[in-house]
């Protein structure tokens, strides 16, 4: 009679305990899931907005760089200089006719351009060739209708520019008389001077329809995401409220730092990014992401801030649905917990089956299953013993796996610098070449050999040479992108794989930066040791059809650079 009483009492206590644990776990999990979901929704919205902002910045930069290429193309055309320098009327008229046709063709294919002009430095900046857009057609401005523009900044500032510089005006509302389609519209001028020797003949200027560019950028954004763009002072050029755009043209100041105070530091500092959640008057809280971009020195360091914002209420709209679903799940799991508690209390044999199942899974290498280690009877002691044994085995396996990973790392990396060794580099190069053949994207190799490294070893010893090699490795890794690979082939030879790169100017800039880094002295035991390097550059597929040929081409170019005086770089195509 006593055993059934003890069994029922134990079973009841287990039932109550397991039911409470199950309900508490379900409730806490549901609450945590609901709270976490709201936080994740905000975080995800911030990341989406920031990513979309970077994409729009890149699109805007690409668009403006296209305008730069066009104005350089037009300014570099021989007829432009001929039309400005010609002394005979017939020669000038012939050259101007050719430029007129060239400008008209450009406007016909570039709907985002309002106007293209050839302006002389002489005659107070007289327009020599001018094509305007008017509605859907083009207007050729001739004769006395051409105006003197020497008093406009885009003329006199451009004429002072060096040949390699681009004048970019701040975006403004166009108030020039007779501007046709561009009159009263947001406009930006880009201009390039035209020179003959040391003499400035004039310039080519393109007036850009900023509204069309803004519309292209924001065309595919969802309706609940606001698109904003400001100049370097923070004045709105684009805003969901049209009354806030180009307010400075009306003598007002409507700036992003007043609406989003966190952007004040971004305006005052270097280019970067910002994500903020702030209150907007009359609109509630909003999530916003901003990116500040600054053009290179050749564009006079013009900068802008582009931002996207989304109402926080829209971001959290799904959390209510998640809350309701979570409550239902918690209730369902609580009922299941009660039902399982009853079953577990009555199934005395189940803990033994659990231990058997756990041992079988563990021995076969599968994931460990739970054990009834919370029991205080003989079954609990046995379960804890099995669990302890499994933990010891897991610990030993973890140590063995860590050792194996260390061996794998040593086999594929240079022990001195930690860089990929020749084997790993060749493997990555093979993958990059396969990808390049598939996608058509080019790649480049920079073969680097340190100058006078043997002299450092001979004079200061191999320990000093090791310090130099580690310093060089750190400088190279810090300079390249994450997608690029820096490897040590052996001795004082390093090699860099630049993925998806073929622009000769970009590669030359990278090589020049690397040479500057290598030229910086290294402190070895209190002594400043000067080093340098010679770089050979090869590109796929131009300089080789496979890994061996591309490496050999870079190696040959490096030796040419070393032969020609060291501390320089040469392209394989120049050898």
Catalytic residues: 492
Nearest to 553 by CA among 449, 447, 452: 447
DSSP-based three-state secondary structure for 235: strand
Please report which helix (H) or strand (E) contains residue 230, including its range: strand 226-230
Cα–chain-centroid distance for residue 426? 27
For the chain, state the CA radius of gyration: 35
CA distances from 434 to 162, 427, 438, 545 (A): 44, 11, 6, 11
Burial of 476 by CB count in 10 Å (0-12 exposed, 13-18 middle, 19+ buried)? buried
Distances (CA, A) of 247 to 165, 318, 337: 30, 37, 64
Alpha helices, DSSP H, located in 269-377: 312-315, 317-346, 350-363
Exposure string for 234-265, b = 16+ CB within 10 A, e = fewer: bbbbbbeeeebbbebeeeeebbbbebbeebee
Cis peptide before 541 (omega within 30 of 0): yes
- Using a 10 angstrom Cβ sphere, with 0-12 exposed, 13-18 middle and 19 or more buried, the burial of residue 505 is exposed
Enclosing H/E stretch for 168: strand 167-168
Record the tokens describing residue 331, joined without a space. Answer: 């209730």
In whole angstroms, what is the distance from residue 127 CA to residue 237 CA?
29
Contacts of 407 (CB under 8 A, 6+ apart): none
Q: What is the DSSP string of 478-518?
A: HHS-TTSEEEEEETTEEEEEEET---HHHHHHHHHHHHHHH
Look-up of token digits 């007289």: 126
CB within 8 A of 443, min separation 6: which ones? 432, 433, 436, 497, 498, 499, 500, 501, 502, 539, 540
DSSP 41-64: HHHHHHHHHHHHHHHHHHHHHHHH
């Amino acid at each position: 009679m006593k055993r059934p009483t003890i069994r029922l009492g134990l079973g009841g206590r287990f039932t109550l305990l397991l039911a409470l644990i199950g309900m508490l776990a379900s409730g806490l999990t549901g609450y945590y899931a609901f709270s976490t979901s709201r936080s994740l929704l905000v975080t995800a919205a911030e990341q989406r907005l920031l990513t979309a902002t970077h994409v729009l910045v890149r699109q805007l930069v690409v668009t403006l760089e296209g305008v730069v290429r066009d104005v350089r193309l037009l300014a570099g055309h021989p007829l432009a200089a001929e039309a400005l320098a010609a002394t005979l009327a017939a020669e000038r008229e012939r050259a101007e006719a050719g430029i007129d046709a060239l400008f008209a063709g450009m406007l016909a294919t570039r709907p985002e351009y309002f106007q293209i002009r050839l302006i002389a430095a002489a005659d107070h900046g007289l327009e020599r060739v001018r094509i305007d857009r008017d509605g859907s057609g083009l207007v050729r401005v001739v004769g006395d209708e051409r105006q003197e523009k020497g008093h406009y900044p885009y003329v006199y500032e451009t004429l002072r520019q060096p040949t390699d510089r681009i004048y970019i005006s701040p975006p403004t509302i166009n108030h020039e008389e007779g501007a046709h389609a561009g009159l009263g519209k947001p406009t930006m001028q880009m201009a390039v001077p035209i020179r003959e020797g040391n003499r400035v003949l004039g310039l080519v200027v393109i007036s850009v329809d900023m509204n069309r560019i803004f519309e292209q950028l924001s065309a595919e954004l969802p309706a609940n995401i606001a698109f904003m763009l400001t100049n370097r002072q923070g004045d709105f050029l684009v805003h969901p409220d049209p009354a806030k755009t180009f307010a400075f043209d009306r003598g007002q100041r409507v700036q992003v730092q007043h609406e989003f105070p966190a952007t004040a530091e971004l305006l005052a500092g270097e280019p970067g990014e910002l994500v903020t959640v702030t209150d907007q008057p009359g609109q509630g809280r909003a999530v916003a992401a901003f990116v500040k971009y600054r053009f290179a020195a050749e564009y006079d360091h013009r900068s802008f801030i582009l931002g996207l914002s989304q109402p926080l209420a829209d971001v959290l709209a799904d959390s209510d649905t998640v809350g309701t679903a979570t409550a239902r799940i918690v209730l369902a799991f609580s009922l299941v917990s009660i039902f399982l508690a009853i079953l577990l209390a009555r199934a005395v044999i189940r803990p033994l089956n659990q231990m058997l199942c756990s041992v079988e899974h563990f021995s076969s290498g599968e994931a460990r299953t739970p054990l009834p280690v919370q029991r205080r009877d003989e079954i609990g002691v046995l379960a804890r013993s099995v669990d302890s044994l499994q933990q010891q085995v897991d610990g030993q396996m973890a140590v063995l796996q860590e050792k194996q990973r260390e061996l794998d790392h040593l086999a594929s990396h240079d022990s001195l610098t930690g860089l990929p060794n020749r084997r790993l580099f060749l493997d990555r190069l093979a993958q990059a070449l396969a990808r390049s053949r598939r996608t058509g994207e080019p790649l480049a190799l920079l073969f680097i050999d340190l100058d006078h490294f043997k002299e450092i070893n001979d004079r200061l010893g191999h320990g000093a040479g090791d310090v130099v090699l580690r310093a060089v490795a750190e400088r190279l890794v810090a300079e390249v992108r994450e997608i690029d690979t820096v490897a040590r082939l052996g001795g004082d030879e390093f090699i860099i794989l630049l993925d998806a790169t073929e622009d000769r100017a970009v590669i030359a800039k990278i090589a020049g930066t690397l040479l500057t880094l290598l030229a910086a002295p290294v402190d070895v035991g209190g002594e400043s040791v000067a080093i340098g390097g010679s770089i050979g550059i090869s590109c796929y597929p131009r300089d080789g059809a496979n890994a061996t040929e591309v490496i050999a081409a870079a190696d040959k170019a490096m030796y040419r650079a070393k032969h020609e005086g060291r501390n320089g770089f040469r392209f394989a195509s120049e050898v």
